[in-house]
Amino acid sequence: MIRVVVVDDHELVRYALRTSIESEDDMCVVGEATCGEDALVLLETSEPAVVLLDLHMPGMGGLDACRKMLDAWPQLRVIILTSYDEDEEIFGALSAGAVGYLMKDTSPTALIESIRNVSEGQTVLDSAIARRVIRGTPDAETDDPGLSEREMDVLAIMARGASNREIARSLWISEPTVKTHVSHILRKLGQGDRTHAVVDAMRRGLVRPPTRTE
């Protein structure tokens, strides 16, 4: 059972999300909150796998809440669900550790599939957001970054939002080895963190952006 927490200050939005989620046999809503502060308190007892998080709410907003959630519970999978698609917020959410960025006009079917996908370690982006992410990054170098075959394997799994432990299990290698590969990938791509490395790799065509199109 995929346990989901919904964080949004609009009651009708929470009702619609809860109705869609609880119509599925493999997931349930284990809590709702109207702001970041309440969400952090709720997470102490609700133990969700996935959090659907709005960006603009009274009090603590979604970006700050996302950072604090993942600092305290790094295993959480956070999907930003919002009406805002400004570059600052998109990149802010990805940098904060969100593994999904969807617009509120996403269809219920696509949203449910996205929840399942992120719970399995994937990353999901609205198709328009994925294009914005690729176009919105600084110009990437056009030369071959010189990634090894194994580094490409690690990068492909990393682009789905997988942790080092998940990458290690997928490739049957140790976590310290994964950390070494990730360090080499960041250095060769000239990036300071995993999110920007993945975005750069998407621009170079090394990996394909995960998208939701409905």
> Which one, of 42, 84, 41, 32, lies nearest residue 63 by Cα?
84
Residue 143 covered by a domain? no
Regions of the chain where pLDDT drops below 50: 138-140, 212-214
Q: Give the residue from 114, 136, 158 where a domain finishes.
A: 136
Residues spanned by the domain of 164: 149-204
pLDDT tens digits, 32-65: 999 999 999 999 999 999 999 999 999 998 999 9
Left (φ > 0), alpha (ψ -120 to 50) or beta: where does 144 sit? beta
pTM: 0.70
Cα–Cα–Cα angle for 104, 135, 94, rounded to 5 degrees? 50
pLDDT tens digits, 169-192: 999 999 999 999 999 999 998 887
* 75/8 same-domain check: yes
Answer whether 164's CB lies under 8 Å from 178's CB.
yes
Answer whether 82's CB lies under 8 Å from 106's CB.
no
Q: Give the residue from 136, 171, 187 where a domain finishes.
A: 136
Alpha helix positions (H), 7-148: 11-22, 36-46, 62-72, 87-96, 108-119, 127-136
**CATH code of 85's domain:** 3.40.50.2300
